[in-house]
Amino acid sequence: MRRSTYFHSNGVLQWAHRNSRKFSHAGPKSFSEQETSFATKPQVAVKEFHEIPGPKALPFVGTLWRYLPLLGEYKMDRLHHNGFRKLRLFGPLVREELLPGINVVWVFTPEDIEQVFRAEGRYPERRSHLALAKCRRDRPHVYNTGGLLPTNGPEWLRLRSAFQRDLSRPNCVKTYLPAIDEVIQEFLNKITPGHNGNDFLPELSKLFLEPFDVRLDSFNQNSELSSRLIDAALSINSSILRTDNGLQLWKWFDTPLFRKLKRSHLVLEQLTTNTSSFTLYHLATNINIQEKLYEECLKLLPDCKSPITAEVLSKAQYTKAVLKESFRLNPISVGVGRILSQDAILSGYKVPHGVL
């Protein structure tokens, strides 16, 4: 039975202006110095996989009962809270037997996360979005793959390369700038008079439905299509964790949750919405950063109607730094899962290959 390893990556990375840091260089140690340090380093016995600390599992049901409402201390839709609780109780490496023979290992330290990445091989493999893949495979007349998120192996690399080629290269991104700038200007005009209500996420969701070539008229209050797409994205995101874990009865028949997932088969715009909302939150709670960003905007865009060109984008260094820091504080995903393609030693414990 395949085990699985889950690690939560939220390492500390500090951004600084390129010329504001000074580095000291002490030079490499001589071979004799290295040899001495290696010789005096104490040898630590490697512990077995089953010795990794973690919540106690019960016969037949493992630790899955701990995620049940009212009975357990964990929640399926609060993965980050679950991880923090395990870190505090058991330390930087935690083994959890969800069901008999199905183990999940939580990895929290940067050193262990590095080892996981080094052991992933040419084709990083993970176990995620399984029900979403089934939705796509059940409709071969519409989809010819399981999609980028659940796919592994050479097919994953093919899909990933296609996305990177068309969406990540600067020259490709520049071609979308005029259309995106037009959408942003329309969005700003819409919210400038003032926004009523405390929840700004629906407005951001409408914004990020628009920049992909086809305009959906999302800013129109009477647009049913945009509202349906946003509701579908929220629904499918809330269903992923609950279908990925547990008994997975949806593999054999359509459970109510799986039927809900099929009806809501869309996930595209939600990631960008959450990222932007967190960025706006951090700017609102850090006025000094907001002021520096505003100064850069005034310098690059003297008039509020000035278009954002490729040249403006290349000079927006502080803006890019703000986005990077927001990504660090609130990553798109709460963690990254990997299936090890080779044995690894994490925090002094043996973790065999085949672990997710």
Per-10-residue mean pLDDT of the chain, 356 residues long, equals 45 31 39 39 78 93 88 85 94 92 90 88 82 80 79 86 75 79 82 65 75 68 67 70 73 78 56 78 94 94 84 91 91 80 91 82
Question: Is 8 within 8 Å of 107 (Cβ atoms)?
Answer: yes
Q: What is the pLDDT of residue 230?
A: 67
Q: What is the pLDDT of residue 13?
A: 26
Half-sphere exposure of 346 (CA within 13 A, CB side): 35
Question: Is 226 within 8 Å of 206 (Cβ atoms)?
Answer: yes
Q: For residue 337, what are its two tokens?
A: 């899962």
Tell me the pairing of strands 93-99 and 4-7: unpaired
Q: For residue 132, what are its two tokens?
A: 């979403």
Identify the DSSP state of 18: T
Question: Is 154 within 8 Å of 122 (Cβ atoms)?
Answer: no
Neighbours of 26 (CB within 10 A): 5
Q: What is the pLDDT of residue 30?
A: 39
Secondary structure (3-state) at 6: strand
Q: What is the pLDDT of residue 213?
A: 63
Q: What is the pLDDT of residue 195?
A: 58
The amino acid at residue 172 is: C
Q: What is the pLDDT of residue 150?
A: 83
Residues facing residue 213 across a β-bridge: none
Residue 249: closest CA among 97, 99, 136: 99
Q: What is the pLDDT of residue 193?
A: 62
Provide the strand spans (E) within the chain: 4-7, 93-99, 102-107, 336-338, 344-346, 349-351
Tell me the pairing of strands 349-351 and 336-338: unpaired
Cα gap 278→297, rounded to integer Å:
19
- Domain spans of the chain, in order of start: 4-20+28-125+339-351, 169-329
Q: For residue 25, what are its two tokens?
A: 């260089």
Question: Is 225 within 8 Å of 216 (Cβ atoms)?
Answer: yes
Is pTM, for the whole model, over 0.75?
no
Cα gap 62→55, rounded to integer Å:
10
Q: What is the pLDDT of residue 159?
A: 85
